[in-house]
Amino acid sequence: MREHRYRTIAGDLRQRVTSGELAGGRLLPSEAELSAAYGVSRVTVRKALESLRDEGLIDSRQGFGWFAQADPLRQTLGHLGTIEAQLAASGLVPERRILDFGFVKASRRPRDVLGVDTVLRVRRLNLADGEPFARVTVWCPEALGADLSRKDVQDRSFYDVLPVAVGGAVQTIAAAAASDADALLLELPAGAPVLRCERVTSGLDGTPVLLSEFIFPAARTEFVVDLPSVDASIAPLGLRLVE
């Protein structure tokens, strides 16, 4: 009987994954939820899940749960670009939803980086083919954001609407755990692994004009660096130990 039940559960989940109901990268219900839904033990549920993992349809990560398998969304670090452009280049439909837009007193990090007391803060959710892909917060000096509207940053990148030309950027990427708020937005368990990316973008004269924070689901994201030449070290480029 147990053998039959696990195959039935596996077949049902297989159909949900292959039909797109559970899209690539989307979390499956937890083992406890599946156990309750099918009226079986977690041992039976896990056997069904492991059989689908063997087929390459789903996978799991510690602290993340089970999710429908998908090729990771790749972003190159070789040039200064937008999420939307890189998703579109991968054949995905990008979407940007503005969560908050307003001028606020700068908290410590934006104040230290941008050197101002008041900033335009924009929080948004980026989606790829309708699936949450990143929570992004951008801080801009009040003087540079004074003429920008919510629609401006909804429809276009900050790089397109800033009244100054953009030069380069310094980007830092590190592992983190999803906060309760980010977990809700990105449809992850609280504390799930994420990649936190901070980008400081400067104008042509080297003055910082934007501070951006990106939170990506770790299971869906890869950053790729092209190295035109290789030195004697095999350590990853830009490696830094965090104290």
Q: Is the pLDDT of residue 220 over 70?
A: yes
pLDDT at residue 211, rounded to an integer: 97
Q: What angle do CA 42, 48, 51 make, to 5 degrees?
A: 140
Burial (CB count within 10 angstroms: exposed 0-12, middle 13-18, buried 19+), residue 4: exposed
Percent of the chain whose pLDDT exceeds 90:
35
pLDDT at residue 241, rounded to an integer: 57
- Domain at 2-68, CATH class: mainly alpha
State the DSSP H helix or E strand holding residue 47, giving kind and residue range, or none if neither. helix 42-54
Backbone angles phi, psi at 233, to 5 degrees: -90, 145
pLDDT band per the 50, 70, 90 thresholds, residue 237: low
Model confidence pLDDT, tens digit, residues 57-67: 888 776 667 87
pLDDT at residue 147, rounded to an integer: 95
pLDDT band per the 50, 70, 90 thresholds, residue 230: low
User: What are the structural domain ranges in the chain?
Assistant: 2-68, 73-224
pLDDT at residue 108, rounded to an integer: 95
The pLDDT of 167-178, averaged and rounded, is 88
Model confidence pLDDT, tens digit, residues 128-162: 888 888 999 999 999 999 999 999 999 988 988 99
Q: What Cα–Cα distance (Å) separates residue 43 from each residue in 6, 7, 13, 148, 198?
A: 9, 13, 16, 55, 41
CATH superfamily placement of domain 73-224: Chorismate lyase-like (3.40.1410.10)
Q: Of 11-15, 20-24, 64-68, which gets the smallest average pLDDT?
A: 20-24
Q: Is the pLDDT of residue 82 over 90?
A: no
Half-sphere exposure of 81 (CA within 13 A, CB side): 14
Give the residue carrying structure tokens 């035109």. Answer: 228
pLDDT band per the 50, 70, 90 thresholds, residue 18: confident
Highest-confidence range of 16-20, 90-94, 159-163, by mean pLDDT?
Answer: 159-163
Note if the pTM is more than 0.85: no
pLDDT at residue 29, rounded to an integer: 84
Q: Is the pLDDT of residue 90 over 70?
A: no
Q: Of 30-44, 95-109, 229-243, which gets the smallest average pLDDT?
A: 229-243
Choose between 90 and 104: higher pLDDT.
104
Choose among 119, 100, 101: nearest CA to 109.
Answer: 119
Mean pLDDT for the chain?
Answer: 83
